[in-house]
Amino acid sequence: MSEHRSVAIIVRGRVQGVGYRAWTKGVAEARGLAGTVRNRQDGSVEAHLAGPAEAVAAVIEACRQGPPGARVEDLTVSDRAASSPAAGTRGVQILPTA
């Protein structure tokens, strides 16, 4: 059985208006992850993702590049408690800007 990991990812740069949220949703769901993704008022994108540790690591690496048109300048990752909301959800939900 694979180790489970839950993370919060903040991506800064040109990541709004380029389809970053929808792209993140697709990449994460293709790897079997669950969680949420949203734009933030400061211009960054925030994702909370959970699933098999190897899949989470692969999505983090993909997020460093992002979709065509994005320009990632900074990406921070912090581990979250296993009981975080992302751990119990199915799929990745796109949430309103916070």
* pLDDT tier at 84, thresholds 50, 70, 90: low
CATH 3.30.70.100 correct for 4-86: yes
Mean local confidence (pLDDT), 76-92: 74
Q: What is the pLDDT of residue 81?
A: 82
Q: What is the pLDDT of residue 87?
A: 47
> What are the distances in angstroms from CA 28 to CA 17, 49, 64, 94?
19, 8, 13, 12
**Where exactly are the structural domains of the chain?**
4-86
Rounded to two decimals, what is the model's pTM? 0.90
Q: What is the pLDDT of residue 1?
A: 57
Residues 84, 4, 53: CA angle, nearest 5 degrees: 115
Kindly list the catalytic residues. 21, 39
Q: What is the pLDDT of residue 48?
A: 97
Q: What is the pLDDT of residue 12?
A: 98
